[in-house]
Amino acid sequence: MRPTAALLLSANALLSASCVNGLAEEVFAAIDKQDDGLRTVNKEIWENPELGYQEVHAHKTLTDFLEEQGFNITRSAYNISTAFRAEYASGEGRAVSFNSEYDALPGIGHACGHNLIATIGVAAAIGVKEALQNQGVSGKVVLIGTPAEESLGGKIKLLEAGAYDGLDCSLMAHPGNKAYASYGRTLASWRANVTWSGEASHAAAAPFMGRNALDGFVSAYTSTGLYRQQLMATDRIHHVIQGASDMVANIIPDFVDSVWGVRGHSRPRAEQVREQLYRILYASSNATNTTIDITPFQDYWDQNPSFQLASEYHRLQMEHLNPLEDAETSNFTVVAPEDDSGEASASSDQGNVSWFLPAIQVGFPVGGTAPVHNAGFRELAGTDFAHQQAIKTAKVLALTGLQVLQNETFAKAMWEEWEQMIEEISVGLS
Ligand SMILES: *[C@@H]1O[C@H](CO)[C@@H](O)[C@H](O)[C@H]1NC(C)=O
Ligand SMILES: *[C@@H]1O[C@H](CO)[C@@H](O)[C@H](O)[C@H]1NC(C)=O
Ligand SMILES: *[C@@H]1O[C@H](CO)[C@@H](O)[C@H](O)[C@H]1NC(C)=O
Ligand SMILES: *[C@@H]1O[C@H](CO)[C@@H](O)[C@H](O)[C@H]1NC(C)=O
Ligand SMILES: *[C@@H]1O[C@H](CO)[C@@H](O)[C@H](O)[C@H]1NC(C)=O
Ligand SMILES: *[C@@H]1O[C@H](CO)[C@@H](O)[C@H](O)[C@H]1NC(C)=O
Ligand SMILES: *[C@@H]1O[C@H](CO)[C@@H](O)[C@H](O)[C@H]1NC(C)=O
Ligand SMILES: *[C@@H]1O[C@H](CO)[C@@H](O)[C@H](O)[C@H]1NC(C)=O
Ligand SMILES: [Zn+2]
Ligand SMILES: [Zn+2]
């Protein structure tokens, strides 16, 4: 039998002294009960790496499992074939959301550990669902399946399609080596395809008839190398060749296709670096009399976490699953939000989400020394230890979400703080 609204209200009032803490046991038990299934989902995704927007197997694995768990599922949500939305609601109230990512990298599989991110989203949603279904909490939990994080910006398409409308927060996590970090900023990131087109000719008989596309690329590559002296520590420029005309030594190369990335601490800074890069690129074309073509395809905004959500996550973690009290993880580091330098290194399409509603992307360790985007990290992301860390992270994320659902004061303060932050970081933006 479902409790009446009046009963629910009084129950909530009674619980309000320690509402979230009071539910931790039930929430953790609900997640633990599904651990075998969660381990299988994790393994299925890890063993079958798929690139952005091609995550067909991950999409099926996740949505089938979520359906078995009793969520309302929309497969291929928002007309994106590998996106999904899973929902569970009980009564009126706020809506908490989690993200599952599941795209892999070319050649090195799940070397960013998105199999763990996918698992955490599902586990956290199961935790909140328990509170909604059996513990008298009202509101809604939404799990968004967000494809193509690595470069094609699945969450940006989802934002534009309205996937985050009406939600109160977006919670997710990302694996790393050694640290538990609840407040992680990320850099603003811009990326473009850049091609140089020239004229082929015999490299010995008629080099003066050629226009060298490789020289165009090398000229720009060299100029960015020189420009690095003027960069700030948090700026990034990186570039690779992704295609070219047949490279033989006796033909002047007439085509190079490359990708260029620019990142900065904030959007204005990334824009400034990008402006200088444009000068460098045009100059390289001019210097080699080749034609240049610049086609941008990525614009991830900097991620600005909700300090209040990060602080609550940290508090709940230390109270319920303090990693320093666990022999297996006592030699890792826990970085409190107030001790985080705020210096970001990577980027994420969750950056865009953080400008739309209060959001966090907490970090958790899988150990080892192989860095993300290294084949060694793929191995670290596939271990039982990594899975256990993911489950612990999901438990604390679920409790954080429950604080948003249950605590009106908390939710109000979270939104106010977020609005003020957005106002502050928008100064100077066009
Ligand atoms: C869905 O996407 C397909 C191609 O990806 C497009 O042709 C179609 O018009 C879209 N439908 C809607 C309703 O947006
Ligand atoms: C599932 O969706 C149906 C149809 O929209 C709705 O009536 C029902 O309340 C939903 N169930 C849950 C648990 O959210
Ligand atoms: C290219 O070089 C010419 C000088 O030969 C200069 O006048 C022109 O401004 C340059 N264009 C660009 C885009 O750098
Ligand atoms: C640059 O290339 C064009 C052909 O695209 C050619 O007409 C022109 O003479 C070249 N300029 C120089 C300075 O070689
Ligand atoms: C960038 O280049 C890649 C590889 O050629 C291609 O698949 C992709 O469609 C290009 N993106 C854009 C926006 O042109
Ligand atoms: C996110 O990114 C796109 C560019 O890719 C931008 O146009 C959009 O306004 C950004 N912000 C939000 C909050 O979606
Ligand atoms: C922590 O200790 C374990 C063994 O107790 C070891 O395997 C692991 O590498 C250590 N991790 C760090 C970050 O020092
Ligand atoms: C509710 O949130 C407020 C503001 O963050 C906090 O002071 C209070 O302790 C919270 N109540 C519970 C029961 O967690
Ligand atoms: Zn990655
Ligand atoms: Zn990643």
Cα 396 to Cα 21: distance, rounded to the nearest angstrom: 11
User: Judging by beta carbons within 10 Å of its beta carbon (0-12, 13-18, 19+), is residue 48 exposed, middle or buried?
Assistant: middle
What's the angle, vertex CA 186, arms to CA 181 and CA 192, rounded to 5?
A: 150
Q: Kindly give the parts of the chain with pLDDT less than 70.
A: 1-21, 430
109: β partners:
105
- Asked if residue 369 has its Cβ within 6 Å of ligand 7, the reply is no
Q: Given this model, what pLDDT does residue 13 score?
A: 42
Q: What is the residue with the minimal CA distance to atom 11 of ligand 7?
A: 331
Q: First vs last Cα of the chain: how many Å apart?
A: 54
Q: How far away, in angstroms, is 81 Cα from ligand 1 center?
A: 10
- Span 106-127, pLDDT tens digits: 999 999 999 999 999 999 999 9
Q: Given this model, what pLDDT does residue 428 score?
A: 77
Whole-angstrom CA distances from 63 to 36, 72, 73, 76, 203 are 16, 10, 7, 10, 57
According to the CATH classification, is domain 5-186+303-429 in 3.30.70.1560? Answer: no
Q: Could you tell me the strand order of the sheet in which 236-244 lies?
A: 236-244, 255-264, 188-197, 291-300
Cα 6 to Cα 209: distance, rounded to the nearest angstrom: 86
Q: Given this model, what pLDDT does residue 12 score?
A: 45
- Beta-carbon neighbour count of residue 86 at 10 Å? 28
Select from 373, 306, 319, 369 the least CA-distant residue to 168: 306
Q: What is the CA radius of gyration of the chain?
A: 24
Residues 307 and 424 sit within 8 Å (Cβ to Cβ): no
User: Judging by beta carbons within 10 Å of its beta carbon (0-12, 13-18, 19+), is residue 221 exposed, middle or buried?
Assistant: middle
- Asked if residue 19 has its Cβ within 6 Å of ligand 6, the reply is no
User: Judging by beta carbons within 10 Å of its beta carbon (0-12, 13-18, 19+), is residue 89 exposed, middle or buried?
Assistant: middle
Nearest ligand 5 atom to the CA of 296 is 13
Helix residue spans in 161-266 (DSSP H):
213-227
Q: How far away, in angstroms, is 172 Cα from ligand 5 center?
A: 29
CATH 3.40.630.10-classified regions of the chain = 5-186+303-429
User: What crossing angle do the helices spanning 35-47 and 19-33 adopt, rounded to 10°?
Assistant: 60
What 3-state class would DSSP assign to 222?
helix
- Span 290-303, pLDDT tens digits: 999 999 999 999 99
Q: Given this model, what pLDDT does residue 21 score?
A: 62
- Asked if residue 404 has its Cβ within 6 Å of ligand 8, the reply is no
**Matching residue, tokens 């933006």:** 429
Q: Given this model, what pLDDT does residue 343 score?
A: 84
Q: Given this model, what pLDDT does residue 10 score?
A: 42
Q: Given this model, what pLDDT does residue 342 score?
A: 85
Residues 292 and 285 sit within 8 Å (Cβ to Cβ): yes
Residues 216 and 283 sit within 8 Å (Cβ to Cβ): no
Phi first, then psi, for residue 287 (nearest 5°) are: -65, -25
Q: Given this model, what pLDDT does residue 19 score?
A: 55
Q: How far away, in angstroms, is 404 Cα from ligand 8 center?
A: 10
**Matching residue, tokens 């070219």:** 244
Nearest ligand 3 atom to the CA of 283 is 14
Q: Given this model, what pLDDT does residue 427 score?
A: 87
Q: What is the dihedral of CA 147, 149, 151, 157, to 10 degrees?
A: 60
Q: How far away, in angstroms, is 281 Cα from ligand 6 center?
A: 25
CATH 3.30.70.360-classified regions of the chain = 188-300
Q: Given this model, what pLDDT does residue 355 score?
A: 98
- With 0.85 as the threshold, say if the pTM is over it: yes
Q: Which CATH architecture has domain 188-300?
A: 2-Layer Sandwich (3.30)
Select from 113, 191, 144, 155 the least CA-distant residue to 351: 155
Cα 369 to Cα 389: distance, rounded to the nearest angstrom: 16
Q: Given this model, what pLDDT does residue 429 score?
A: 81
Cα 215 to Cα 309: distance, rounded to the nearest angstrom: 50
Q: Given this model, what pLDDT does residue 430 score?
A: 67
Select from 347, 257, 345 the least CA-distant residue to 299: 347
The one-letter amino acid at 112 = C
The one-letter amino acid at 75 = R
